[in-house]
Amino acid sequence: MHIHILGICGTFMGGLALLARERGDAVSGSDANVYPPMSTQLAAAGITLREGYDPAHLDPEPDLVVIGNALSRGNPAVEHVLNRGLPYVSGPQWLAEHVLRDRWVLGVAGTHGKTTTASLLAWLLEDAGLAPGFLIGGVPGNFGVSARLGAAPFFVVEADEYDTAFFDKRSKFVHYRPRTCILNNLEFDHADIFPDLAAIETQFHHLLRTVPGNGRVFRNGDDPNLTRVLERGCWTPVETFGDGAHNAWRGEPDAQGEGFTVRLEGEAIGHVAWNVPGAHNRLNALAAVAAARHAGVPPAQACASLARFAGVKRRLEVRGVADGVTVYDDFAHHPTAIATTLASLRRRVGEAPLFAVLEPRSNTMRMGVHADRLAASLRAADRVLIHQPAGIDWDMTAIVEELAAASLHANTDEIIAALLAAAPPGSHVLIMSNGGFENIHARLLDALQARAGQRTSSA
Q: Are residues 133 and 210 part of one domain?
A: yes
Q: Are residues 219 and 346 part of one domain?
A: no
pLDDT-based confidence at residue 133 (cuts at 50, 70, 90): very high
Per the structure, how many domains does the chain have? 3
Q: What is the CATH number of the domain that holds 77?
A: 3.40.50.720
Q: Are residues 267 and 120 part of one domain?
A: yes
**Within a domain: 312:** no
Give the domain extent around 16: 2-89
Cα 112-149-165 angle, rounded to 5 deg = 55
Q: Tell me: the pLDDT tens digits for 142-175?
A: 998 899 999 999 999 999 998 999 999 999 999 9
Contacts of 158 (CB under 8 A, 6+ apart): 12, 107, 108, 114, 115, 118, 135, 136, 137
**Within a domain: 359:** yes
Q: Are residues 333 and 291 part of one domain?
A: no
Question: What are the strands, taking DSSP E only, across 159-200?
Answer: 163-165, 168-171, 180-183
Residue 56, burial from CB neighbour count under 10 angstroms (0-12, 13-18, 19+)? exposed
Q: Are residues 296 and 167 part of one domain?
A: yes
**Contact predicate 329/356, CB 8 Å:** no
Q: Are residues 113 and 65 part of one domain?
A: no
CA torsion sign for 296, 312, 188, 372 is positive
Q: What is the CATH number of the domain that holds 111?
A: 3.40.1190.10
Q: Are residues 277 and 193 part of one domain?
A: yes
Q: Are residues 197 and 144 part of one domain?
A: yes
Q: Are residues 28 and 154 part of one domain?
A: no
pLDDT-based confidence at residue 394 (cuts at 50, 70, 90): confident
Q: Are residues 276 and 413 part of one domain?
A: no
Domain boundary among 89, 121, 146: 89
**Within a domain: 327:** yes
Q: What is the CATH number of the domain that holds 397?
A: 3.90.190.20
**Within a domain: 52:** yes
Q: Tell me: the pLDDT tens digits for 258-273?
A: 899 999 999 999 999 9
| pLDDT at residue 406 tops 90 | no
Closest to 66 measured CA to CA, from 166, 193, 173, 136:
166
**Contact predicate 269/262, CB 8 Å:** yes
Q: Are residues 106 and 72 part of one domain?
A: no
From residue 256, give the alpha-carbon distance in Å to each of 76, 260, 273, 280. Answer: 57, 9, 11, 17
Lowest mean pLDDT among 237-241, 307-311, 315-319, 391-395: 391-395
Q: Are residues 116 and 72 part of one domain?
A: no
**Contact predicate 276/345, CB 8 Å:** no
pLDDT computed for residue 175 by the predictor: 97
From residue 54, give the alpha-carbon distance in Å to each of 48, 79, 129, 413. Answer: 14, 11, 44, 31
